[in-house]
Amino acid sequence: MSKVIANMSMSLDGFIADPADGIDRLFGWMGSGDVEVPTAVEWATFRMSPASAEYMRTSMESVGALITGRHLFDITQGWGGTHPLGVPIVVVTHREAPADWPHTETFTFTGGVEEAVEAATKAAGDKDVVVASAKIAQQCLDAGLLDAVHIDLVPVLLGSGVRWFENLGKSPVQFGDPTVIEGNGVTHLAYEVTKRA
């Protein structure tokens, strides 16, 4: 059964980026080990601890589509047309899709989270949909569309930045106890939603 999963690297004080959108301190675990984890693109190969590598490989195999925001799409320039996960991408945006964007087979642009989840679920088949955007994850939570939250918890207090769970409209949201995988510079915590507000 396909699940909709929000996944981010987060600091102990709840930030998923620093005030300048920087993520260096939160993504160090992706290069903190010796085990190579290739991706769908040549420019991104991770080198992780054995535990994180196993976790990442399993996660990558189970993902069938990715939902992201326009902001991330823009700052990564659409990952050059191929996301490291190598799956169809749904970009939530209120603006027009880039006029000259050629990768129309793998990229879909939609205006709302409901449509995005619908499109991504269809594209994912029996695999999972991953939501890689703080804002969209919040909207999915509020809309009752999220099944799980996977936190890559990084042992740092950033003090300021962009919070993952900043503007929840409906709370509390209750989860079960997590599956825990201990990496190097990260603790992977996989929570499933058990009760919505």
Q: How far apart are CA 161 and CA 10, in angstroms?
A: 11
Termini Cα distance of the chain? 24
Q: What is the 8-class DSSP label of residue 78?
A: G
Q: What per-residue string of b and e applies to 119-131 under the rule 16 or more CB within 10 Å gives b?
A: bbbebbeebbbbb
Tokens linked to 74: 């823009």
Contact status: 66 vs a second copy (CB under 8 A): no
Contact status: 159 vs a second copy (CB under 8 A): yes
Contact status: 143 vs a second copy (CB under 8 A): no
Looking at beta carbons only, is 2 or 187 nearer to a second copy? 187
Looking at beta carbons only, is 116 or 190 nearer to a second copy? 190
Tokens linked to 121: 């679920």
Q: How far is the CB of 180 from a second copy (least distance, A)?
A: 6
Is there a contact between 150 and 170 (Cβ–Cβ < 8 Å)? no
Q: How far is the CB of 140 from a second copy (least distance, A)?
A: 12
Tokens linked to 164: 């993952």
Contact status: 22 vs a second copy (CB under 8 A): no
Q: What is the 8-class DSSP label of residue 134?
A: H
Q: How far is the CB of 105 from a second copy (least distance, A)?
A: 36
DSSP bridge partners of 14? none
Listed ranges 67-75, 94-102, 117-125, 183-191: which one lies at the site for a second copy (CB under 8 A): 183-191
Is there a contact between 157 and 13 (Cβ–Cβ < 8 Å)? yes
Q: How far is the CB of 150 from a second copy (least distance, A)?
A: 11
Tokens linked to 51: 């535990």
Looking at beta carbons only, is 129 or 137 nearer to a second copy? 137
Contact status: 47 vs a second copy (CB under 8 A): no
Q: How far is the CB of 173 from a second copy (least distance, A)?
A: 4
Q: Which of 16, 87, 130, 149 binds a second copy (CB under 8 A)?
A: 149
| Whole-number CA gyration radius for the chain | 16
Residues that bind a second copy (CB under 8 A): 11-14, 25, 141, 149, 151, 153, 155-160, 163-165, 168, 170-178, 180, 182-187, 189, 191, 197
